[in-house]
């Protein structure tokens, strides 16, 4: 079961406690709620020196989701788990939209002015905003967890896919090629690339085999661009046939040939940010253990654990012990950002359409705060918990699990968690 973080009166992290013990502390008035996400208690009176057990922070970075886990190396107990959802692709789409609007405006207003390229110098190690946001999200959560837990080491999946090894399987100097990890890197990459289904018939949830698109008997290579996944039935039926003969007249032929040449966007995003993320984690001063995606999958399969982002994080690195994951419920963290600096909203053509207030706070609340509203009268009697969107009139909208609730007065609202750029679901 997930533990509750506990800090003393001087804000120093203590050993995480069982939820039942946390409830007892609150009932007896010995502790108060310090933070809702992640749920943390603070003691009201100073305690004697206790032996605070060291914890290892494990991170499995991804393009869309990053798995985070806190593990006790000696006991194998998973203390905390979370899945962080990034907004990199949303940032990319917003930048693309802004660029298109700017370009069309230039054509309308200054038709004869040539666009200027390379007029801004980029610092060393610069990353596109869509990729930099992933690094900043992880950096922010490492700092937060350091404040509430005694983290003494970090395990980090530095290499998700070994592109060089997959393009040239005969490469030397890689010890895991001859060991139990042989093939894990390639298989994991293909599962991501081909959507975990048979490329020829689309079958899912069946054992999949690595298959050569252009048969080796006819000169095909072991390059990752010539490999796909198929079920046993299709693999046997295709045999040594050329794919053009096997899928002659099928609509899947063109799709497979196109997908084979297409790079994996998610893998590219992870590989581009890995060094920047590694440098960021080194700034913490903690010892860092690195591992590959193949090793992560090998550790997870050895313990018969299902594939989830937080369990992948638990299995990162060679130091992975026998894990105790029973009853763990990961915290879902969704990166929303801190809003926008636009002075007005625009329509789809880029023209101003509505006004944006200059002030952020209304009656002490701002858009993005997580609130609890207990409505006692009127048409909307009930209790609502969720992310609030403020209005200058004092009548707010609350996004709950069951949908959007409009027109809730600020008088019924009470803060649960101040806006921090993230939304949460347990």
Both structure tokens of 420: 């921090």
Q: Tell me the CATH class for 175-263.
A: mainly alpha
pLDDT of residue 98: 85
Q: ∠ CA(191), CA(194), CA(196), 5° rounding?
A: 50
Question: What would the pLDDT profile of 92-151 be if each residue is shown by its tens digit?
Answer: 998 998 888 888 887 887 777 776 777 777 888 889 999 999 999 999 999 999 999 999
Both structure tokens of 393: 């009139």
pLDDT of residue 256: 86
Say how far apart CA 207 and CA 196 lie, in whole Å: 10
pLDDT of residue 97: 86
Say how far apart CA 183 and CA 239 lie, in whole Å: 21
The pTM score is 0.78
Please give the C-alpha separations between residue 165 and each of 54, 159, 180, 294, in angstroms, as whole numbers. 36, 12, 16, 12
Contacts of 349 (CB under 8 A, 6+ apart): none
227 within 8 A of 261, measured Cβ to Cβ: no
β-partners of residue 395 are: 409
Please give the C-alpha separations between residue 218 and each of 3, 238, 248, in angstroms, as whole numbers. 58, 13, 18
**Whether residue 38 has a cis bond before it, omega within 30° of 0:** yes
**Does residue 344 surpass a pLDDT of 90?**
no
**Does residue 177 surpass a pLDDT of 50?**
no
pLDDT of residue 250: 83
Return the DSSP state at 324: B
342 within 8 A of 350, measured Cβ to Cβ: no
Say how far apart CA 421 and CA 335 lie, in whole Å: 6
3-state DSSP call for residue 279?
helix
Return the DSSP state at 207: -
- Give the residue-averaged pLDDT of 200-214: 87
Both structure tokens of 154: 């970090």
pLDDT of residue 240: 86
pLDDT of residue 181: 45
**Does residue 260 surpass a pLDDT of 90?**
no
Q: Which of 420, 404, 296, 313 is nearest to 369 (CA)?
A: 420
Say how far apart CA 251 and CA 128 lie, in whole Å: 37
pLDDT of residue 180: 41
Most confident option among 175-189, 224-238, 384-398: 384-398
392 within 8 A of 404, measured Cβ to Cβ: no
pLDDT of residue 295: 87
pLDDT of residue 305: 93
Q: Which of 203, 202, 221 is nearest to 212 (CA)?
A: 221
- Give the residue-averaged pLDDT of 197-203: 88
Q: Edge-to-edge, what's the strand order for the sheet holding 5-7? A: 5-7, 40-43, 31-35
Where are the domains positioned within the chain? 1-52, 53-106+128-161+267-335, 175-263, 355-425
- Considering just the CA atoms, what is the radius of gyration of the chain in Å? 26
Residue 166's pLDDT band (boundaries 50, 70, 90)?
A: low
Residue 294's pLDDT band (boundaries 50, 70, 90)?
A: confident
Question: DSSP for 152-173?
Answer: EEEEEEEES--HHHHH-TT-SS
Pick the CATH number of 53-106+128-161+267-335 from 3.30.420.10, 3.40.640.10, 3.50.50.60, 3.40.50.300: 3.30.420.10
Q: In percent, how much of the chain has pLDDT > 90? A: 47
Q: 10 Å Cβ neighbour count for 335?
A: 21
Say how far apart CA 91 and CA 271 lie, in whole Å: 18
55 within 8 A of 118, measured Cβ to Cβ: no
Conformational region of residue 43, where left means phi above 0, alpha means psi within -120 to 50, and beta covers everything else: beta
Contacts of 386 (CB under 8 A, 6+ apart): 370, 371, 398, 399, 400, 401, 405
Q: ∠ CA(392), CA(395), CA(397), 5° rounding?
A: 105
pLDDT of residue 185: 63
- Give the residue-averaged pLDDT of 269-297: 88
Question: What would the pLDDT profile of 4-29 be if each residue is shown by its tens digit?
Answer: 999 999 999 999 999 999 999 999 99
Mean pLDDT over each residue of the chain, to the nearest integer: 86
- Give the residue-averaged pLDDT of 187-196: 80
Say how far apart CA 2 and CA 7 lie, in whole Å: 16
Q: Which of 156, 181, 182 is nearest to 169 (CA)?
A: 182
- Give the residue-averaged pLDDT of 226-252: 87
Name the architecture of domain 355-425.
Roll (2.30)
Say how far apart CA 56 and CA 284 lie, in whole Å: 13
β-partners of residue 354 are: 345
């Amino acid at each position: 079961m997930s533990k509750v973080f506990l800090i003393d009166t001087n804000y120093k992290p203590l050993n995480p406690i069982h939820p039942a013990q946390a409830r007892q502390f609150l009932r007896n008035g010995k502790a108060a709620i310090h933070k809702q996400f992640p749920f943390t208690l603070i003691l009201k009176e100073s305690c004697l020196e206790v032996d605070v057990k060291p914890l290892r922070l494990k991170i499995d970075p991804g393009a869309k989701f990053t798995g985070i886990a806190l593990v006790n190396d000696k006991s194998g107990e998973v203390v905390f788990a979370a899945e962080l959802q990034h907004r990199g692709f949303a940032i990319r789409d917003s930048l693309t939209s802004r660029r298109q609007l700017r370009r069309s405006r230039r054509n309308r207003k200054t038709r004869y002015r040539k666009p200027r390229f390379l007029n801004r110098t980029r610092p060393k190690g610069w990353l596109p905003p869509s990729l930099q946001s992933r690094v900043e999200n992880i950096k922010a959560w490492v700092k937060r967890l350091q404040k509430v837990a005694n983290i003494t080491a970090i395990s980090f999946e530095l290499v998700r896919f070994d592109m060089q090894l997959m393009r040239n399987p005969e490469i030397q100097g890689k010890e895991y090629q001859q060991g139990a990890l042989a093939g894990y890197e390639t298989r994991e990459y293909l599962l991501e690339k081909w959507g975990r289904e048979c490329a020829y018939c689309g079958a899912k949830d069946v054992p999949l085999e690595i298959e050569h698109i252009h048969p080796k008997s006819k000169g095909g290579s072991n390059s990752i661009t010539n490999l796909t996944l198929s079920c046993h039935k299709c693999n046997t039926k295709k045999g040594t046939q050329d794919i053009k003969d096997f899928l002659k007249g099928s609509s899947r032929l063109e799709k497979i040939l196109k997908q084979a040449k297409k790079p994996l966007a998610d893998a590219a995003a992870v590989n581009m940010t890995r060094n920047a993320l590694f440098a960021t984690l080194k700034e913490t001063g903690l010892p860092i253990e690195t591992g590959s995606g193949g090793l992560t999958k090998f550790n997870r399969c050895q313990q018969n654990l299902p594939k989830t982002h937080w369990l992948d994080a638990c299995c990162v690195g060679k130091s992975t012990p026998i894990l105790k994951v029973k009853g763990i419920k990961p915290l879902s963290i969704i990166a929303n950002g801190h809003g926008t600096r636009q002075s007005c909203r625009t329509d789809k053509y880029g023209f101003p359409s509505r006004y944006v207030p200059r002030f952020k706070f209304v009656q002490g609340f701002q858009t993005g705060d997580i609130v609890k509203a207990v409505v006692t009268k009127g048409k909307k009697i009930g209790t609502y918990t969720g992310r609030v969107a403020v209005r200058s009139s004092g009548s707010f909208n609350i996004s709950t699990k069951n949908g959007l609730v409009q027109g809730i007065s600020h008088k019924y609202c009470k803060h649960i968690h101040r806006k921090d750029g993230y939304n949460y679901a347990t």
